[in-house]
Every structure is written in structure tokens, then in C-alpha cells.
Amino acid sequence: MTERENILGRIREALRLSAPHPGTHGGHEPAVAFADRPVHVAQQWLPPGGETFEEQVERFRAASAELKTEFQLFASREEAHASLAKLRDSEGWKKIAAHSGELTDPAAAALGLPVLRSERGYDVNEMETCDAGLTECDALVAQTGTLIVTSRSSGGRAVSVLPPHHVVLARRGQMVRDLAAALALVQRKYAHDYPSMISLVTGPSRTGDIERILVLGAHGPKKLTVLCW
């Protein structure tokens, strides 16, 4: 059987089956909305998140390595700033983008570079010329190595997307066990006034569409670094 015949056969088979109603699982089960299913049902297909902080850090570190995310945990802010300075020197940063925040303001000042501030209005083309974008986040998800980023925690949408290197600054207390805990955190934090954008960042931008060859930086930052203390 040729590949063409195989594809056409699969199409004929699919046309013989009736599509399930939206919100149901399978075409022959009673209509049960996904939202009514307990969260633990989905957990069986996901990796463990860890119960203690140490376990969560190791899970996040392992997931980050698989995703090609650079993750570093420090004992103090000073250590994190020193590591950030090494990144500046090794990559030859000349200008960065950032937003105002408790973590980003001291870090940007420590780098001693020109800073394009997202809250002051900016030119998109100029933002793209920045060597790195410094943002904060809402949570680190140990289970999948995911960052929860919103338009408020990251100073809008552009800083985490346009520069080629996205550097995320985080606190230890922002590490959560799994996606369910992360979404519950977002719900508690923004229940009465949700931000315009909530994004789950899992590794640097990538695509494998062309001949299944992995290419980083296809639709956003080519590098993702997470500094936590």
C-alpha cells in the first residue's frame, strides 16, 4: 500500500464515524463536560510534581534541561545578579528591555546597561534590537518546567517575546507542584480582575514543522533563562 492509499483509507474510515459532541469524551459515551471531570483524572498522564520544595526544584530542573531552558537557583539576590552579569558579558549585551518590578528594577540597575522600559511606551522595532528581555512571572510549575506569565507580571506582552533572550526572575515561593496548583494560584490572584494575557511558557520558542527538524527561536525568544532565589 502506498502512502497516498494509506492516507485516503484513513480519511474514508474517519468519515464513517460520527464526531462526538463538543465537551464529551468519545462518540459513544454520555455527554459529560470536561469541566465536570475531577482534576486528578488528567494527572495520570502527567509527570509527578514533587511534594517538598527540594523535590519540586529537581523536577523543574530536569524538565528545564529537556526543554533547553537554563535554570539556576541561588541563595541570595546578589548571587543571581552576579550570574546575570556573567550572561551580559558572555553574550555581549548592549541594551536590555524590562518592566518595573520588585525583582526587575534592582537587576536592571545592577547590569548598568541602557534599559527600554515597557511601561513608558516604546517602539516595537527598538524593542526587537534589545539583546535580552527581563521579566518577572506568576509561578514556576515543577511538573512540566512551565512558567506562568501574565501581561501584569511581565510588564505587558512584548518584553517576553521580542528580544532574542528572555530572562525570568523569580522567587522560591513561586514554585508550585503542578499545573492545577498554578491555575488555582492565577484564579486566586486575579479572580476579580483578570489580565488581558495569561501565557504558559514551556521552554524557548521552537518549531519542528519543517522535516521534523527542531528549530529554536521560530516565533519568539531563542533562549530562555530562569533565575530564582
pLDDT of 40 > 70? The answer is no
HEC sequence for 40-91: HHHHCCCCCCCCCHHHHHHHHHHHHHHHCCEEEECCCHHHHHHHHHHHHHHH
Which pTM does this prediction carry?
0.79
Instruction: Please state, in angstroms and rounded to a whole number, the distance separating the CA atoms of residues 206 and 110.
Output: 31
pLDDT averaged over the chain?
88
Residue 132 makes CB contacts below 8 A (sequence gap 6+) with: 87, 91, 93, 96, 97, 163, 164, 165, 166, 167
Local confidence band at 46 (pLDDT 50, 70, 90 cut-offs): confident
Here the cell at position 28 is: 459513544
Judge contact between 22 and 33, C-beta under 8 A.
no
The secondary structure of 133-169 as a DSSP string is: EEE--SEEETTTTEEEEETTTTTSSSTTTSSSEEEEE
Cα torsion 153, 159, 164, 165: sign: negative
Local confidence band at 33 (pLDDT 50, 70, 90 cut-offs): very low
Local confidence band at 36 (pLDDT 50, 70, 90 cut-offs): low
**17 compared with 123, residue with greater pLDDT:** 123
pLDDT of 123 > 50? The answer is yes
Instruction: Please state, in angstroms and rounded to a whole number, the distance separating the CA atoms of residues 90 and 73.
Output: 19
Q: How many residues in total does the chain contain?
A: 229
Task: Delimit the domains of the chain by residue range.
Answer: 1-37, 52-228
Supply the pLDDT for residue 34: 44
Supply the pLDDT for residue 57: 97
Here the cell at position 200 is: 504558559
**192 compared with 174, residue with greater pLDDT:** 174
Q: Is 94 exposed, middle or buried (0-12, 13-18, 19+ CB in 10 A)?
A: exposed
CATH superfamily of 52-228: NagB/RpiA/CoA transferase-like (3.40.50.10420)
With pLDDT > 70 as the criterion, what percentage of the chain qualifies?
83
Supply the pLDDT for residue 31: 45
Supply the pLDDT for residue 169: 98
Judge contact between 191 and 155, C-beta under 8 A.
no
Supply the pLDDT for residue 32: 45
Residue 7 makes CB contacts below 8 A (sequence gap 6+) with: none
Local confidence band at 106 (pLDDT 50, 70, 90 cut-offs): very high
